[in-house]
Amino acid sequence: MTQAAARAPGRRAGDAWLHRVAAEASRGAGGVPVELLGEFLSVLVEAATTGRRPDRGELDAVGLNGRRAAELGVSAGNAVQLYLSAAWRLWRELPTVVTFPDSAATATAAEAVMRAVDRAVASLAEGYTAARRDMMRSEETLRRELIEDLLRGDGDIGALVERAEPFGLDMAQPHRVALAAPTGRLADAEAALSGLERAVVHGIGDRDVLVATKDGSIVVVAPVSPAGSTAPAPAGLGELMHADLCRARRGGPWRIAVGRPYPGAYGIARSYEEARETLGMATRLRLDMPVVRAEDLLIYRVLLRDQPAITDLVHAVAGPLAKARGGAVPLLATLDAYFASGCVITETARRLRLSVRAVSYRLSRITELTGYDPTDPAQRFTVHAAVLGARLLGWPQRDLPGSDPG
């Protein structure tokens, strides 16, 4: 179509009706800023009257407006609605300002306008998507840095509170940290993170959750209670995580360690350290529990707090077991099963798949070697503490560290 085929105001003339169409389109799209249309309506008028397609510069300008829409927080749907609403409103009023000689010219103009709209909306979407991608990358970087600082607990508390607010973290509320460690290779960490975050948010009924990876483990920071609620969150953060990770079969089997909840920014770091210590301790103790809580291993933390003392205890009480035929391992396994069964010999025999007579012989042999009788309530605690200490120190597989001579 040539300019002779239709008579229309110039691109800069008669702008009043275009301003009105733009304002109506803005209201129709839920109040999206009219400035996001840029020169779009003028481009459509020129397409209708001359058949000219939008050039690269005009499409780039539309793409830039798409980026601006994303940065302003306008939804993609509303941004597209603004452009489509402006297009049909303009076409509805175009016959009052443009004269087409015949129906063929009208059809040609309609096709030119639709092509222009198609290319403009595509550019708008590309700009919007690019901006959202950049914003997500920036947000993810800020999120990772925040989690790192929260887990270290050595940042400025005022700055941490301010940085946590956009992510929905109320630092006044108690939070607990859980670690998930895969025994296999975690091939798709991003899929595991997104799936786990959805499961935790759904399970505790709140979005005050951060999920990230650190040192080969998945870290979850979750509130004890949903924001604005005094009721405790459903128990079982570790079970929620384990169920989701096992269902996805990523890097499993998994072991989950959960720290105790603490309030404040430094409380997250404290809970994280507890979870990390619990995870390491569960590995050293070869526990077969998939979910381990810090409070479940408090006795082991007490034992390790004075390592020279527990080393001396293992030397004095468990050390003589190494003189037995076959070494200390079978006798330590017998004591483990004996204490785990509540000191019931028949149950110990069942767990070890031995006869009651064999278990009784081993217990007697332990008494002979160590001078401590595990069946005597007065001496049982000492033997049990020595067995736990041996497991924590990895003895007899590893040599015991030298005891404190003092």
Report pLDDT for 354.
Answer: 94
Of 245, 232, 240, 274, nearest in space to 257 by CA: 274
Instruction: Encode pLDDT of 145-170 as tens digits.
Output: 888 888 888 777 778 888 887 777 88
Q: Where are the beta strands (DSSP E) in 159-290?
A: 175-182, 210-214, 217-223, 254-258
> What span, in angstroms and rounded, lies between the C-alpha atoms of 257 and 64?
47
Cis status, amide bond into 95, omega within 30 of 0: no
Q: How far is CA 321 from the centre of its chain?
A: 47
pLDDT band per the 50, 70, 90 thresholds, residue 299: confident
Q: Which positions ≥6 away from 341 have C-beta within 8 Å?
A: 347, 348, 351
**pLDDT surpassing 90 at residue 261:** yes
Pick the more confident residue, 400 or 1: 400
Contact 217, 278 (CB under 8 A): no
Pick the more confident residue, 192 or 78: 78
pLDDT band per the 50, 70, 90 thresholds, residue 107: very high
Report pLDDT for 3.
Answer: 42
Report pLDDT for 187.
Answer: 58
What integer best gives the mean pLDDT of the chain? Answer: 85
Strand 217-223 and strand 291-293: pairing? Answer: unpaired
The identity of residue 274, as a single letter, is E
Mean pLDDT score, 302-309: 82
Class level of CATH domain 306-393: mainly alpha
Q: How far is CA 259 from the centre of its chain?
A: 16
Q: Put residue 169 in one of left, alpha, beta given phi > 0 → left and psi -120 to 50 → alpha.
A: beta
Phi, psi values for residue 342, rounded to 5°: 80, 25
Each domain of the chain, given as residue ranges in start order, spans 3-134, 167-300, 306-393
CATH placement of domain 167-300: 3.30.70.270
Q: What is the reported pTM? A: 0.59
Strand order in the sheet with 210-214: 210-214, 217-223, 175-182, 254-258, 291-293
Mean pLDDT score, 53-74: 95
